[in-house]
């Protein structure tokens, strides 16, 4: 009996140890970006396409021409609780003391400085496909932006979602999945894939989520509930979006639909960001949207 209890205890310890090992945060090692120098100007363009300011600027900040103050504070209400975008400004209350590797780890692995898992409200399941050099450039740009002393608001999550370690298990399922579109047929589609799947993280809103809040990649860009609770985010997979190539390109730069209605909600700032891209990139996004799997019945 004693032997049985002992072996059970050993097994339990081994099981817990394995779980602990499997759910460990896995940052980007400093060696992976050694030799890379951040180009802040280039990073500024990437920062715009990645839409960082859309979430990290304080909700009551005046829209202006100056550099954005990434003080955080915007709230995202979800079925798991409320997430608050943190201060990622250049001051000590933000990311001022983070190394490049720590910043890149946050963006690409969802791991904070100090090693804690970050919640996927930060779209690292998209940014993880970005080139490390691009993320190093974005990090360099962040350091050029103003600082803010505002304290980051803690998330308000219900049990068990408030246990960060659980994100290690979540990431086993939903992170590190690579590209959705395998083997793009030409460089234009590959470029579009990079913009849509990685930097601009379109899938985070346009792809439906599973019960555990991960992107359902089998229904890629096929439309989803609006995380804001206002209506639905439309499906944009082949068979759903019946606009011409020119109509899509015009929408992404002017915000005007083929019926000359205008984009609304969060898509307004997305278009503001995407319209900074060169025409060839807009065409690449269109080409990519034509190349992904069609929606059922489409």
Return residues touching other proteins (CB under 8 A): 226, 230-232, 246-247, 250, 253-256, 259-266, 268-269, 271-272, 275
CA dihedral 37, 197, 48, 279 (to 10 degrees): 100
Closest separation between CB of residue 83 and other proteins, Å? 20
DSSP code at position 256? B
Among 169, 154, 143, 173, smallest CA distance to 75 is for 154
If the CB atoms of residues 152 and 266 are measured against other proteins, the closer one turns out to be: 266
Is there a contact between 152 and 55 (Cβ–Cβ < 8 Å)? Answer: no
Closest separation between CB of residue 108 and other proteins, Å? 29
If the CB atoms of residues 105 and 273 are measured against other proteins, the closer one turns out to be: 273
Tokens of 85: 């975008």
Q: Distance between CA atoms of 81 and 43, rounded to whole angstroms? A: 32
Is there a contact between 149 and 93 (Cβ–Cβ < 8 Å)? Answer: yes
Closest separation between CB of residue 24 and other proteins, Å? 40
Closest separation between CB of residue 226 and other proteins, Å? 7
If the CB atoms of residues 117 and 206 are measured against other proteins, the closer one turns out to be: 206
If the CB atoms of residues 17 and 264 are measured against other proteins, the closer one turns out to be: 264
Is there a contact between 117 and 88 (Cβ–Cβ < 8 Å)? Answer: no
Closest separation between CB of residue 251 and other proteins, Å? 9
Is there a contact between 288 and 189 (Cβ–Cβ < 8 Å)? Answer: yes
If the CB atoms of residues 157 and 250 are measured against other proteins, the closer one turns out to be: 250
Closest separation between CB of residue 219 and other proteins, Å? 18
Instruction: Tell me the backbone φ, ψ of residue 58, rounded to 5 degrees.
Output: -60, 140
If the CB atoms of residues 218 and 228 are measured against other proteins, the closer one turns out to be: 228
Spell out the alpha helix ranges (H) of 186-293.
Answer: 187-193, 203-206, 245-254, 267-274, 279-291
């Amino acid at each position: 009996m004693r032997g049985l209890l002992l072996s059970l205890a050993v097994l339990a310890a081994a099981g817990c140890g394995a779980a602990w090992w499997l759910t460990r945060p896995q940052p980007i090692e400093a060696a992976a970006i050694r030799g890379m120098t951040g180009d802040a100007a280039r990073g500024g363009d990437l920062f715009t396409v990645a839409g960082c300011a859309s979430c990290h600027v304080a909700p009551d900040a005046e829209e202006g021409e100056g550099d954005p103050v990434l003080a955080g504070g915007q709230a995202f209400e979800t079925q798991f609780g409320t997430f608050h975008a943190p201060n990622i400004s250049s001051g000590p209350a933000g990311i001022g003391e983070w190394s490049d590797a720590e910043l890149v780890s946050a963006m690409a692995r969802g791991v904070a400085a100090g090693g804690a898992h970050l919640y996927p409200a930060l779209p690292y399941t998209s940014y993880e496909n970005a080139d490390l050099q691009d993320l190093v450039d974005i990090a360099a740009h962040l350091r050029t932006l103003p600082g803010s002393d505002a304290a980051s608001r803690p998330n308000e999550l219900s049990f068990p979602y408030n246990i960060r370690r659980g994100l290690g298990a979540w990431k086993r399922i939903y992170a590190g999945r690579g590209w959705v579109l395998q083997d793009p047929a030409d460089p234009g589609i590959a470029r579009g894939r990079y913009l849509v799947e990685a930097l601009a993280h379109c899938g985070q809103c346009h792809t439906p989520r599973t019960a555990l809040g991960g992107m359902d990649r089998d229904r890629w860009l096929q439309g989803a509930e609006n995380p804001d609770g206002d209506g639905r985010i439309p499906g944009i997979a082949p068979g759903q979006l019946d606009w011409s190539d020119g109509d899509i390109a015009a929408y992404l730069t002017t915000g005007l639909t083929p019926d000359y209605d205008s984009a609304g909600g969060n898509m307004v700032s997305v278009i503001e960001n995407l319209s900074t891209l060169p025409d060839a990139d807009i065409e690449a996004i269109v080409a990519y949207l034509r190349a992904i799997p069609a929606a059922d019945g489409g």
